[in-house]
Copies of this chain bind each other. A is one copy, B any other.
Amino acid sequence: MGLSVQEAPVSRGEQKQRTRAKLLHSALSLMAAGKPFGALSLREITAHAGVVPATFYRHFSALDELAFALVEESGMTLRRLLRDVRKTGLPPTSMLLASVKIYRQYVEDHRAHFLFVCSERNGGSPPIRAAVKREEQHFSAELALDLRQMGWMPGLSSGTLQMACYLVVSTMMNAASDILDLPEKNPQLEREFVERFVRQLRLIFLGAKAWRDA
């Protein structure tokens, strides 16, 4: 009829991908409500996605498989962060503060992914935890490569640089966790946490500058 909206034609593949995305998104939503991933049930996730429980098996063989998919999604989010910071081409002097501001915005824009990573990296079941830590190592190594290419502290050995980057990444994760735990709409408290984060990174960078390899 004239008033009916023209529906975009949807291929079977597209439709399947949409349902899969709904399942992933449902798990993240439920976690955002305070449930650890390990406490989510298949039925909860499918109900929230608006499909019948059996549908789950068209996409994943078990809950762990869904978790691995979320690890991958989250890893992509993290790598995009690096790329975004990289392409701003910041001058070294103001790099730290600006990076932290971008990072804070990123954490807020991708709350669900950061929440997932922060909570599973130590709190998940062993295989999930391992997958998250692997992603974290990649991120850390990529950061080290970036800093090296920017000519940052050329005197540091690559082993030391990697160690420092691992420390930076751990600090980033802790900061993300703290920021995510902040009560909403408390800019004062948020500023304090961000300020502490900046100071922690500054301390680390000062340490790196003073470092002398044996």
Which residues of A line the B interface, CB within 8 A?
34-36, 38-39, 118-126, 129-130, 133, 160, 163-164, 166-167, 170-171, 174, 177, 181, 196, 199-200, 202-211
Contacts and interface: CB of A to CB of B under 8 A. Distances in A.
10 contacts: A34-B125, A36-B123, A119-B123, A120-B123, A167-B200, A203-B208, A205-B207, A206-B206, A206-B211, A209-B210
B121 A122 contact: yes
Given A122-B118, A123-B120, A124-B36, A167 B203 contact: yes
A131 to B, nearest CB: 12
A153 to B, nearest CB: 12
Number of copies: 2
Contacts of A133: 181
Q: Give the one of A35, A166, A206 with max B CB within 10 A.
A: A206
A167 B173 CA distance: 12
A75 B34 CA distance: 24
Give the interface centre of A122, A174, A207 by most chain B CB atoms within 10 Å.
A122
Contacts of A171: 167, 170
A174 to B, nearest CB: 5
A182 to B, nearest CB: 12
Q: Select the residue from A36, A125, A177 with max chain B CB neighbours within 10 A.
A: A36
A38 B31 CA distance: 13
Contacts of A124: 36, 123
A168 to B, nearest CB: 10
A120 B133 CA distance: 16
A39 to B, nearest CB: 4
Given A36-B124, A122-B122, A122-B123, A163 B196 contact: yes
Contacts of A163: 196, 199-200, 203
Given A203-B204, A206-B207, A208-B203, A122 B119 contact: yes
A191 to B, nearest CB: 14
Given A122-B121, A122-B177, A133-B181, A164 B36 contact: no
